[in-house]
Amino acid sequence: EKDGYEHFMLKEIHEQPKAIRDTLAARLKEGVVDLSREISLTPEELKRFDKVHIVACGTAYHAGLIGKSVIESLVRIPVEVDIASEYRYRNPILTPSTLVIVISQSGETADTLAALREAKQAGARVLGITNVVGSSVAREADEVLMTWAGPEIAVASTKAYTSQLIAIYLLGLYLARVLGTQPEEQLLEVTEALPRLSEQVKSILEDHGSIRKFAEKIAQHENLFFIGRGLDYPVVLEGSLKLKEISYIHSEAYAAGELKHGTLALIEEGIPVIALATQQAVHDKMVSNIIEVKARGAHVLGLGLEGRTDLDRSVDEHITIPETLSLLTPVLSVIPLQLLAYYTSTARGINVDKPRNLAKSVTVE
């Protein structure tokens, strides 16, 4: 059942090109995203929403952070993102013109479900993004957008996460088209780049020798840092969570500009820093942050875009992802981080698919 892979996690990492394709299929045709068969809200109803809340836990929450940027940039509606266990107890401001998006692979996470119920109770419309047909989220949400990643067995979520991102891009593009919030050409640019992601993920998976080597190095460490700016920031949060949960190595993910506000004090000789630099708009700022940690002795793995040669001069080790729009890089940049977590875990002899203390689906508070 592992199809020759040593672990479910590795199998599921390699299933991502297909999960992306399947999640896009039937929703994207000839450069147009159409969700009208799945989402029953009419254009008039969609126009009435004046804000969006995204609520989820763990990895799904990290997908939600990317969802905020995607929806805000494409749809120009304010989006708040909350951890479900916080949201349900913070008395959020919910009205009938709030669209609440809950994201849950299993569709059974207790806090996420409680948030869904609370939002419905308050009269908000709830859209669920889930991977399990017939799950509680699928049954109870007003609207459902399925991810088609197939069953995810490994505790550490991989293909469900990239599929959640695809669902979010589809939703953002659909809302933007229906509400007319972006020029057609701009939507077309994103819509045309989306289906290429599947092949691009495949190419990253085919060539990951340097990630494996770096994983063997960090397996000796007890502390490390991830840094990024813009959309790279939620991706490093996800990379750090993945590494913690299956390698038991402590790591922290920082918005790189925050380093000087305290954390830089922890950077000392030899500490590994994984730096993402895929966002064009903040590229030079990110390079300055890398130089800052290098000056304190950090050993830096830089992850940038193919064809940007200036990064390799400032880092100790350099890996690249294929070029795509800045908005879409999270689907690609998370792949090396998943592999890094996986190979670090195996280098440490940990039970990758079933890390200690964790359950696949958190159905109790």
Using CB under 6 A, pick the residue from 85, 157, 279, 345 that binds ligand F6R: 157
Should residue 232 be labelled a site residue for ligand F6R when binding is judged by CB under 6 A? Answer: no
Using CB under 6 A, pick the residue from 10, 60, 243, 328 that binds ligand F6R: 60
Should residue 65 be labelled a site residue for ligand F6R when binding is judged by CB under 6 A? Answer: no
Count of CB atoms situated within 10 Å of the CB of 20: 27
CB of residue 171 vs ligand F6R: minimum separation in angstroms?
Answer: 17
User: Nearer Cβ to ligand F6R, position 28 or 146?
Assistant: 146
Which DSSP symbol is given to 280? G
3-state class of 107 per DSSP?
coil
Catalytic residue, chosen from 18, 51, 202, 360, is 360
- # binding residues, ligand F6R (CB under 6 A): 15
Should residue 57 be labelled a site residue for ligand F6R when binding is judged by CB under 6 A? Answer: yes
Should residue 245 be labelled a site residue for ligand F6R when binding is judged by CB under 6 A? Answer: yes
Task: Give the contacts of 30 (CB within 8 A, at least 6 positions apart).
Answer: none
CA distance 133 to 360: 17
CB of residue 149 vs ligand F6R: minimum separation in angstroms?
Answer: 11
**Tokens 């998370």 correspond to what residue?**
334
CA distance 248 to 352: 11
Should residue 240 be labelled a site residue for ligand F6R when binding is judged by CB under 6 A? Answer: no
User: Nearer Cβ to ligand F6R, position 265 or 364?
Assistant: 364
Should residue 59 be labelled a site residue for ligand F6R when binding is judged by CB under 6 A? Answer: yes
294 among known catalytic residues: no
CB of residue 8 vs ligand F6R: minimum separation in angstroms?
Answer: 12
Phi, psi (rounded to 5 degrees) for 321: -120, 155
Alpha-carbon distances, residue 111 vs 82, 133, 138, 292 (angstroms): 11, 19, 15, 39
CB of residue 120 vs ligand F6R: minimum separation in angstroms?
Answer: 17
Using CB under 6 A, pick the residue from 69, 109, 278, 329 that binds ligand F6R: 109
CA distance 309 to 68: 30
**Tokens 């609370």 correspond to what residue?**
118
Residues β-bridged to residue 250 = 223
> Angle at CA 40, nearest 5°, toward 170 and 329?
10
Should residue 105 be labelled a site residue for ligand F6R when binding is judged by CB under 6 A? Answer: yes
147 CA to centre of own chain: 14
Using CB under 6 A, pick the residue from 23, 69, 104, 346 that binds ligand F6R: 104
| Active-site amino acid positions | 360
Binding residues (CB under 6 A) for ligand F6R: these are: 57-60, 104-106, 109, 112, 156-157, 241, 245, 361-362
